[in-house]
Amino acid sequence: MAPVQRGDTVFISAAAGAVGSVAGQLARRLGATTVIGSAGGSDKAARLVDDFGLDIGLDRCESPIGAQLAEVAPGGIDVYLDNVGGDHLEAAIAAARAGRCAGCSSTPTSRCSPSGPSRPQPGSRTARRQLAAHRADRGGRTRTGPGRDRTL
């Protein structure tokens, strides 16, 4: 869905989970130069590097994810695996160089407080449409329905 190529910078949200942790390791094996993952908490962010072999682990509770991503990937990202949507998706779109994105799910994320899970953030549909338009500008492909691909 979002092929990784040698030299790519890859960003994976919720990278400490089952899907994200495997995706990070696969990106490394496929030749990504830099693999960045986000997780909820400093312990999980450290695990991304120490246990899963990612280059950079971002703690989404520390500061806005967009600012963190811009700091660690000033040249942008090539591939994004979206596991949460919301502010992570918006940050990835802002940092996208080539616009290769795979959407896995949009799970609710905690707000880093005892209040528990947040509702899906508004704007995810709009952000996905912006990404599709961003990809279209570069001759990318977008999903238009179950089982259908269309070059824009």
Instruction: Specify the 3-state DSSP secondary structure of 107.
Output: coil
- What does the pLDDT read at residue 85? 83
Under DSSP, the state recorded for 19 is H
Assessment of whether the complete model's pTM goes beyond 0.85: no
Number of domains in the chain: 1
Domain annotation covers residue 3: no
Domain annotation covers residue 151: no
Instruction: Specify the 3-state DSSP secondary structure of 53.
Output: coil
Domain annotation covers residue 85: yes
Q: Could you list the beta-strand ranges (E) of the chain.
A: 9-12, 34-39, 56-59, 77-82, 96-103, 141-145, 148-151
Are 77 and 37 contacting, i.e. CB atoms less than 8 angstroms apart?
A: no
- Dump pLDDT digits (tens) for 2-26: 688 899 999 999 999 999 999 999 9
- Dump pLDDT digits (tens) for 20-74: 999 999 999 999 999 999 999 999 999 999 999 999 999 999 999 999 999 999 9
* Percentage of residues in the chain having pLDDT higher than 70: 62
- What does the pLDDT read at residue 109? 52
Q: Which domain holds residue 80?
A: 9-110+119-139
